[in-house]
Amino acid sequence: MRVVDCLIIVIDAVTGHGAALENLWKIADKLDLPRIIVINKMDKSQADFDGTMEKLRAKFSKEVVPVEVPIGQGDDFKGDFSLLKHEVPEELKETVAIHKEMLIEGVAEIDETILTEYLENKEITEEELKEHLITALDHDKIFPVFCASATKNIGTEDILDALVSWMPPANEKEIPAKDNIKVKPDAKEPFSAYVFKTVSEAHIGNLTYIRVYSGTIMPSSPVLNATKGKDERIGQIITMRGKTKVDLPQLTAGDIAVLPKLKITGTGDTLCDKNKAIIFEPTTYPEPAMSFAVRPKSKADQEKMALGLSNFTHEDPTFKMSYNAETKETVISGMGDVHLEVILKKIKERYNIDIEIGEPRIPYKETILGKAKGQGKYKKQTGGRGQYGDTWLEIEPLPRGKAFEFVNKVVGGAIPRNYIPAVEKGVREAMGSGVIAGYPVVDLKITLFDGSYHEVDSSDMAFKIAASMGFKKIFQEAKPILLEPIVEITVSVPPEFVGEVTGDLNKRRGRIANIEADKVIAAVPQGEISKYATDLRSFTHGQGTFSTKFSHYEQVPPQTQQKLVETYKKLKE
C-alpha cells in the first residue's frame, strides 16, 4: 500500500466485509489513498447489495456511495446499470432514484451546487457528474461502489474503465522525502526509487521490487543506495508477469519493476542519482505478535533451516529470527500464526526441509531467598590415581540484577590457590543448568570458606565436581524460588473493546498501568501471553494489535513454581 496510487477493495456480497478491512481502511486514510469498492459474488443465492452497502456506510463513511446498481441478484443477476446514465429502464427507476441520491450527496462534498441542481430537478449531465466524482475521488471525499460477479465476468470491464479514467495516474502526485524535500514525479528529474519488497529465489538470488518516483534509469546504470551510503549497480531490469520475467529497456517515474541480483540493497532502502542524494522515509513495521520455537526434523538440515530463515528476514521486515542461548532454541516471530505457517511452508518448498514447531520456552530463572552452608566433597578411588576434592561453601541472595559474586575466604592453604578457579568454574556450570527446574541461576553470592585436598589425588576436575555437588546441595536449603519475565504490553483496540481487554489482562495476572480511549498498557507475565495474538484477534474481531517489551523479573506464584518443578523432575526421570 505504501507504493500504490489507489486501491480496489473487494467485498463479498454474501458475508460482507471482514475485520481485516478496518485495519486496511485506517492505513488507506493515513496514506490518503483513493479507493473504489467492488461488491463481488452478486450471482450467489444470498447476495445482498443494499445490505452490504448499508453496513459499509455505517462502519466507514456516508461517503461510500454506489455508482451503479445490480440488475437482479443471485441466480437472476444479469449485469449492472450505471447511475451516471440518464435514460433509466422503467423497472429500475425506483432503485436508481434511491441510489442516485446517495451518489449526489457524496459528490456534493466537493461542490454543493450539484446537490441544489439535483433537488431542483435540473439536468446534471453525465460529464458534469463524472467530473465532480473524479475531483471528489482525488480528495478522498468519496468511495464509489461497483457490483460484479468475477466468475461470470460481469462488471469487470466497468471496474477497469473506472480505474483508468477516474483514478489518479502514477506520475501525478509529489512524494515527500526526508528533510522536507518534495520529489516531482517527472521523467526529466534526477532518478529516485523506493525498495518495498525483496524476494529470494533459488538459483537467482534476490529480486528487489522498486517503485520509481522520479527520473529515468536503464540497465547497467550506477546508482546510490542513499540509505546505506554506498554505490550499487543496476544490471538487468525486469517486470514479473506471474512467474515469467520480462525484460524492460528502461524505467521512468511511476513505474514498478524488479531489479535482480543487487548486492547491498534491501527492503526500505532508497536508490537515487549519485549527484542528488535523497532518502524516502522507511516504512514503520509493527512489532511481532507471535513466536514459535523451531527445529529441523533432521539434525542434518540445521544449516539449511538457518539459511532459509535468514533469507526470509531480508524478504519480510515483520519476520524475525533469533537464537535464545538461555533456552537453547531457535525462535521465529511474526504477525500471527498464519504469517509464520506460510513462511515455514515456503521454506519447506524452497529448501526441501521439514521443520517442527512448538511454543518457545519461557526464560524463567532460579534464585534463592535464604542463606545456607554446606560441604561438597568428591572422592573416587580407582586402581591407579584417585580423585579428591573437598569444599565448604556458603550461599546467600543478592539484589535483583546483580547476577553472581564469588568470594574466596580460604586461609592457611586448606585448598591450594591453583584449585580456586576450578571451584568457581564448578559453581558457574551448575548455575547454568539450574537446580530445581533446569533454569539458569541468578542473583546470589557464593563464599568458599574452607576445604581440604590430597597431595596426589586432588585435581582441577575433582574440585570442579566437588563445588558443583556442594552448590546444588546448599541451593536446595536456601529457600529456592523461580523468577518469571514480566513484559510491558501495549494493546491498541477500538474503544468498545477496552473493557474486555482490561478484564482479559487481569485474568492473566496483569497489572494495568494506564488506560486510554483506545489503548491499554499493562505489566504481565510473559508466560501468560504466549497465545495472546490469537486470543486478541478473536475477541476484537481482528481489530486489536499489541506490542511488548521486556520489563523485569519477578517471583512466580507458588502453584506455578510447583508445576514447573514437577515437569522438570519428570523430564529428568
Query: So what's the pLDDT on residue 383?
Result: 66
Q: Which three three-digit cell numbers place residue 145?
A: 461502489
DSSP symbol at 66: E
Structure confidence at residue 105 as a pLDDT band (50, 70, 90): confident
Query: What pLDDT band is residue 311 in, cutting at 50, 70 and 90?
Result: confident
CA distances from 442 to 367, 549, 550 (A): 5, 21, 17
Q: Rounded distance, CA 68 to CA 331, Å?
A: 51
Helix axes 420-433, 460-476, angle to 10 degrees: 50
Determine the average pLDDT of the residues in 118-125. Answer: 80
Grid cell locating 178: 526526508
Average pLDDT score over residue span 63-86:
93
**Residue range 94-101: mean pLDDT, rounded:** 92
Share the mean pLDDT of the chain: 91
The cell for 190 is: 534526477
395-415 average pLDDT score:
94
Place of cell 592457611: 412
Nearest Cα neighbor of 437 from 293, 323, 573, 562 is 562
User: What pTM does this model have?
Assistant: 0.71
Predicted local confidence at residue 477, as pLDDT: 96
pLDDT tens, residue by residue, 529-567: 988 888 898 888 777 888 888 999 999 999 999 999 998
Confidence band (pLDDT; 50, 70, 90) for 195? very high
Rounded Cα gap, residues 561 and 452, in angstroms = 37
Please tell me the distance from the alpha carbon of residue 522 to that of residue 504, in angstroms, as a whole number: 11
Q: Does the pLDDT at position 19 exceed 70?
A: no
Contacts of 290 (CB under 8 A, 6+ apart): 333, 334, 335, 336, 337, 339, 340, 531, 533, 534
Which is it for strands 404-408 and 444-452: parallel, antiparallel or unpaired?
parallel
pLDDT score recorded for residue 78: 93
What is the pLDDT at residue 286? Answer: 75
Residue type, 465: I
**Dist CA 70 CA 156 (whole Å):** 13
pLDDT value for 250 = 95
Q: In this predicted structure, what is the pLDDT of residue 46?
A: 93
- Residue 400 burial class via C-beta count within 10 angstroms: exposed 0-12, middle 13-18, buried 19 and up: middle
What is the arithmetic mean of pLDDT over 462-469? 96
pLDDT per position as a tens digit, 217-257: 999 999 999 999 999 999 999 999 988 899 999 999 999 99
Q: What percent of the chain has pLDDT over 70?
A: 99
Q: At what angle do helices 126-138 and 112-119 cross, to 10 degrees?
A: 150
- The pLDDT tens digits of the residues spanning 490-536 come to 998 888 899 999 999 999 999 999 999 889 999 999 999 988 888 89
More confident: 314 or 320? 320
Instruction: Name which residue leads in pLDDT, 422 or 287.
Output: 422
Report residue 305: phi and psi, to 5°. Answer: -65, -45
In this predicted structure, what is the pLDDT of residue 376? Answer: 95
For residue 497, give the C-alpha cell: 473493546
